[in-house]
Amino acid sequence: MDIDIHDSPIVDEELIKALGRQLLEGLVLLEGSLPVSHLNPKLHNMIHYAASTARIGSLVWVSMNTFERNNKRMKGMVRSNKNPEASLANDVQMDIAARVTSLDEDLLGVDPPPLMKFCKPVAGGLYFPTKRQRYCMSLLGVERFQYTRGYNVALIRGTHFACGEWGQRTCGSVFTTVYCGRSVYGVLERFMLVGEEAYAAVTWLSTPVYPYDPITLVVQVRMVPAEDQPLNRCVIRCDRIEPCGINVMPDEDGVHYYMMRTRGFDRRIN
């Protein structure tokens, strides 16, 4: 193909039609060059890629692989076509019972994951907190800062978090915690270890908005402006971070972001 998009997830509207024609031409050439038995019938779906991209944007952000895999698993659990719902319910119940039994067996003699484990220290190992970070840490009872160690990656109760990944396609820097009975979100900037106490330097996101209220599974936030960040403490204890991953998807307006937890649920004041 003579059009190079460099594997970029950014959609160039001017190239969509040309790419669609080239994709269709390539499929026609494949069909005429290979035996029918070598072609997967699902290749037909590819002819819709250009039109779908023009309609809804980059297909990377709307991929339903996880949903389809779970849908396939549920179809395989249906034993009777006459009563599919009852059959699925019975099979799910048996599956849950089997998983609980196997989980009990697996946990016998196995220690729980450590509360915290840090890796990938900063260059030199020592980290020198900023003036604002030292002030916020002093509010948490820290008196000496000269032996502060800095880390970029941490496992908190088995959940992986990484600093400096905000804005990347794979982001492990977003976390959630509870403040005054409400779930809030932030971005991890640095993990800090002072003696035996673990802290995290953070940048806060705006108050969560739930577009599908009362369902709190999907959350919409935006970055708090830099001039408003000093209104909140920039350092928290690591044990305040909830051990769950956060999926991030940018909104089309370029300002907001959608957050989705991998486990648990948001708290909010009724």
What phi and psi, each to the nearest 5 degrees, are found at residue 54?
A: -65, -30
Query: 172, 194, 180: which is closest to 238 by C-alpha?
Result: 194
- Say if residues 138 and 103 touch (Cβ distance below 8 Å): no
174: pLDDT strictly greater than 90: yes
How far CA 73 is from CA of 140, 172, 176, in Å, comes to: 48, 28, 31
pLDDT, tens only, 75-114: 878 877 888 888 888 888 887 777 776 666 555 655 666 6
- Say if residues 181 and 164 touch (Cβ distance below 8 Å): no
Query: 150, 140, 159, 237: which is closest to 191 by C-alpha?
Result: 150
DSSP 8-state code for residue 237? E
**Left (φ > 0), alpha (ψ -120 to 50) or beta: where does 157 sit?**
left
Average pLDDT over residues 143-162: 87
**What structural domains does the chain harbor?**
13-62 (no CATH), 65-107 (no CATH), 116-261 (2.30.30)
Residues 6+ apart with CB under 8 A from 212: 218
Greater pLDDT, 155 or 59: 155
- Say if residues 193 and 149 touch (Cβ distance below 8 Å): yes
DSSP 8-state code for residue 60? G
Tokens of 244: 């769950």
**Cα distance between the two ends of the chain:** 56
pLDDT, tens only, 221-261: 999 888 888 888 899 999 899 988 898 888 888 889 998 88
Q: Give the predicted TM-score (pTM) of the model.
A: 0.59
Residue written as tokens 């909140």? 232
Sign of CA dihedral 75, 79, 83, 88: negative
Q: What angle do CA 182, 185, 187 make, to 5 degrees?
A: 155
